[in-house]
Amino acid sequence: MKRIAVGTVALVFASMLFSCSPAEAAKAPDFCLKNMAGMTYCLNEFAGDVRVIVFWASWCENCKPLMTLLNNLYRMHWKGGLTVFGVNTDKSEGRSHTKAVVIELKLKYPQLLNPDQSVLKTYNPAMSLPYLVIVDRSGKIRYRKAGYSSSMEIEIRKLIEKLLNEPVM
């Protein structure tokens, strides 16, 4: 019984690491979160855009290069329908650290607050950071990945450019 459970967990984890074809992709769960100024953003309000969600925390040094990459992609493609959300998972008392990272990295995309980590748990039950989700124009999850290494940069760029060129289905 343990072997089956371990095998199932390994398969689920492996499936979360790679991109999905449109036929295999699951619909992205909607969420609504506030930014640091109290403005509410909902994922489904940006239907028709390619949506990128990066879950991060101020203590996560490995999150910063991914967030910088996404900031560059956002600045290049926001007019073409790319929406990026940073979802910060720091507890409320760590808000000053959150703001410091946003300023340090000069992030231009919305930074949403998820101090209870409920949205992180929905998308990533293992709760590892950083965690990246890419949603196509039709609202299907096409990519999930825990962690970050510079070797992912080309893969992420190519996928986002590909999805921006796909029609809404």
Q: pLDDT confidence of 17, banded at 50, 70, 90? A: very low
101 is in which domain, residue-wise?
A: 2-165
- Compute the average pLDDT of residues 48-57: 98
- Compute the average pLDDT of residues 133-142: 97
Tens-place pLDDT, residues 81-120: 999 999 999 998 878 999 999 999 999 999 999 999 999 9
Tens-place pLDDT, residues 19-44: 555 556 799 999 999 999 999 999 99
Look up the pTM and report it.
Answer: 0.85
CA–CA dist 37, 69 (Å, integer): 24
Kindly give the pairing relationship between strand 82-88 and strand 141-146.
unpaired
The domain tally of the chain equals 1
CA–CA dist 109, 118 (Å, integer): 21
Largest CA distance in the chain: 51
pLDDT of residue 167: 84
Short-list 124, 82, 97, 123, CA closest to 36: 97
- Compute the average pLDDT of residues 2-24: 44
Tens-place pLDDT, residues 114-137: 999 999 999 999 999 999 999 999
Does the pLDDT at position 7 exceed 70? no
What CATH number is associated with residue 41? 3.40.30.10
pLDDT of residue 21: 56
H-run or E-run covering 142: strand 141-146
Terminal-residue alpha carbon distance, the chain:
41
CA–CA dist 142, 160 (Å, integer): 10
CA–CA dist 118, 130 (Å, integer): 15
For 141, residues 6+ apart whose C-beta sits below 8 A from its C-beta are 20, 25, 26, 27, 28, 133, 134, 135
CA–CA dist 77, 146 (Å, integer): 23
Report the percentage of the chain scoring pLDDT > 70: 86
Name the residue with higher pLDDT: 48 or 3: 48
